[in-house]
Amino acid sequence: MAIAVRGGAPVTNIASGTNPISVTCTGSQQPQSGDVLLIVASNNYYLLSNITTPTVGGSTSGVNGVPNGTADAGTNNAHLKAYTYVVGSTGDLTVSETESGTTDEEKALIVFVLSGVDITTPVDDALTGSGTATTSPVAPSVSPTASDSYLICHFNTGVSGGNASTPPSGMTEAYDISLVGLMHSSGAVLQLVASGATGSKTFSTNSSQPYTSLSVALKTAGAAAPEQFYVAWTYQVPPGITPMGFGVPYPTDYTVLALPLTIDSTGATTTSGSASVTATLALVVTGSTTTSGAVTLTQVMVTTATGTTTTSGSAVLVQTIVVTASGTTTTSGSVTLSQASPINATGSTTTTGSAALGIVSTISASGATTSTGTSAVTLQMALSATGTTVTTGSANVVQTMVVTASGTTVTTGSVSLTRVTPIVVTGTTVTTGTADLTIAAIVTFSASGATTTSGASSLTQQMVVTATGSTATSSTTTLSQTMVTTATGTTVTTGTALLGASLGLTSTGATVTSGSSALTRVSSLVATGSTVTTGTVTVTLLGSLVAAAVTVTSGSATFTLKGVLSASGLTVTTGSGDLVLVLAAGHVYARPGYAEAEPNRAYTGAPGRLYASADPRTYTGQEGSA
């Protein structure tokens, strides 16, 4: 667990002529069991020896001087001493330092309350410095052995002081306190990411003064074992059974402890190799998690990541009940999630390799989801995307109950959805490759907004297909074995549109097909608005065809074995052939009269006239007569 300053800043006090000088750590800076206090006591006059060991909670017990932690700029000048203290129990603590000798000078007391510090050896390395009058006091270089130590740098002036300073480059100011013209003290912090020399750190002040300084690198606690709970089970062995070579029988009862239940990480977690978590009930990460190798989570009940999670290798989550990511999740390798119940992503999710999700109950993505490789979702109950979903490779969704996309969905490769019950799209859906929806038993396919497919679109064995808004297909559209297809708005197909074995097709608005349109075994076809076909229209085995408004076919139109043909608006057919009607017994209506049709009679007709040329029995008619 990374080192953190409770309350975000140390507790400080600077005073003139006060003895003792003290601070109380409380509220957000209240020490917790296992915390470490870093105490810096300083003065600006008299002697270094005037500074005595401070008390914590009224006692000096457990207060230890920092190795190399004293600095002396000389008599009647700046001095400092640094100490550490390991907190035994949670609660408010008062730290007090009582000087000896003459005590009317200015003095300061700074107390950092730190979590995540190694309580056995808190200090990785420390060093002090001092200097004559300058506006650039320097904290010396230290050389920690660990790569994740926490650096604190400090300076205080002697004799007199300014009232403002700038922290060293790359560091964050932790405090800047002063008694104007008398004493000035400032400090800065830095989370280190490498071992070895830190280099000296230079402050900048608004007054040239002599000073003392301190650099201390605090050691991060090792991967602290979280509070563990265990599942125990007992099994029995019949009495009298003895191990080979021994005369002592086995005990009759054995108890085995296993399955750590909770792992909590607060702050920044970095793994430069691979990370593997097995048989854990809950994995909770708060802050930043970075893994440069592979991450494997097996039989983890709940995985929660808050902040930024980065995996530069591959991520594998197997038999996980809940995976929740809040913030930014980036995987530069492949992501595999198997037998996970719900997956919730809030924020940005980016996968530059492939993403495979198998046997997952619910997937919800809120924010931006980007997959630059292949995205495969298999055996899911519900898939919901809110925000922007971008797949630059292939997207495959197989045996999924519900797919819901709200926002913008863009796929530059191919999209395959197989055995999906309902699909609901709200917003804009763009597919530049191929879109296939197969055996979806799709009770409902709903598109609200604009749906654009620049490649081929195929829907097979769907119950209901509903498009609200604009639907554009620049290549081939195939709908097979669809019960009901409803288009509200504008439907444009620049290639070929094929609808096979459909129960009902309803178009409200404008339907334009610039290629060929074929409808086979469609029970009912209803067009309300304008229907324009510039190529060929073929309709086979229709129960009824109803056109309300204007129907224009500039090529040829063939209607075969229909029950009833009704045109309540204007029907115009232009091309090399006539309108060909091959009917079973039924009616042909031509504003407002009709002609009776017998089986296997072929009728051709110009507007307003019907006549038979393929049978000795010839019918001719104008409007109102046959």
What's the average model confidence in pLDDT over 430-452?
Answer: 69
- Distance from C-alpha of 463 to C-alpha of 482, rounded to nearest angstrom: 5
The answer to whether residue 115 sits within a structural domain is: yes
CA-based nearest residue to 214, from 159, 163, 179, 174: 174
**301 & 370 share domain:** yes
**88 & 177 share domain:** yes
**360 & 382 share domain:** yes
Q: Which residue has the higher pLDDT, 410 or 52?
A: 52
Q: What is the pLDDT of residue 621?
A: 32
Per-residue CA distances from 552 to 258, 473, 503, 547 (Å) = 75, 20, 23, 10
**402 & 327 share domain:** yes
**Of the residues 413, 429, 447, the one at which a domain ends:** 413
Q: How confident is the model at residue 316 (pLDDT cuts 50, 70, 90)?
A: low
The answer to whether residue 608 sits within a structural domain is: no
Q: What is the pLDDT of residue 221?
A: 93
**Of the residues 357, 378, 413, the one at which a domain ends:** 413
**229 & 329 share domain:** yes
End-to-end Cα, the chain, rounded Å: 92
The answer to whether residue 391 sits within a structural domain is: yes
What's the average model confidence in pLDDT over 593-618?
Answer: 36
The answer to whether residue 496 sits within a structural domain is: no
Whether the CB-CB separation of 43 and 74 falls below 8 Å is answered with: no
Whether pLDDT at 534 is above 70: yes
**64 & 95 share domain:** yes
**155 & 8 share domain:** yes
- Distance from C-alpha of 108 to C-alpha of 44, rounded to nearest angstrom: 9
**266 & 325 share domain:** yes
Counting runs of H as helices and runs of E as strands, what totals does the chain give?
0, 56
Percent of the chain with pLDDT over 70: 65
Q: What is the pLDDT of residue 298?
A: 67
The answer to whether residue 73 sits within a structural domain is: yes
Q: What is the pLDDT of residue 403?
A: 72
- Domain of 398? 225-242+249-413
Whether the CB-CB separation of 88 and 61 falls below 8 Å is answered with: no
Q: How confident is the model at residue 618 (pLDDT cuts 50, 70, 90)?
A: very low
**172 & 230 share domain:** no
The answer to whether residue 102 sits within a structural domain is: yes
The answer to whether residue 589 sits within a structural domain is: no
**192 & 311 share domain:** no
Count the domains in the chain: 2
pLDDT digits (tens, 9 = 90+) for 456-495: 777 777 666 677 777 777 777 777 777 777 777 777 777 7
Q: How confident is the model at residue 599 (pLDDT cuts 50, 70, 90)?
A: very low
Q: Which residue has the higher pLDDT, 560 or 414?
A: 414
**330 & 383 share domain:** yes
Per-residue CA distances from 421 to 136, 379, 400, 459 (Å) = 71, 12, 7, 13
Q: How confident is the model at residue 263 (pLDDT cuts 50, 70, 90)?
A: low
Highest mean pLDDT of the ranges 161-170, 226-235, 297-306, 525-534: 161-170
**116 & 197 share domain:** yes
Q: What is the pLDDT of residue 610?
A: 39
**Of the residues 413, 439, 465, the one at which a domain ends:** 413
- Distance from C-alpha of 274 to C-alpha of 135, rounded to nearest angstrom: 47
The answer to whether residue 81 sits within a structural domain is: yes
State the greatest distance between any 2 C-alpha atoms of the chain, in Å, as a whole number: 136
Whether the CB-CB separation of 447 and 453 falls below 8 Å is answered with: no
Whether pLDDT at 20 is above 90: yes
Q: Which residue has the higher pLDDT, 515 or 233?
A: 515
pLDDT digits (tens, 9 = 90+) for 111-164: 999 999 999 999 999 999 999 999 999 999 999 999 999 999 999 998 888 888
What's the average model confidence in pLDDT over 220-234?
Answer: 48
Q: What is the pLDDT of residue 154?
A: 98
Encoding tokens for residue 264? 């909590």
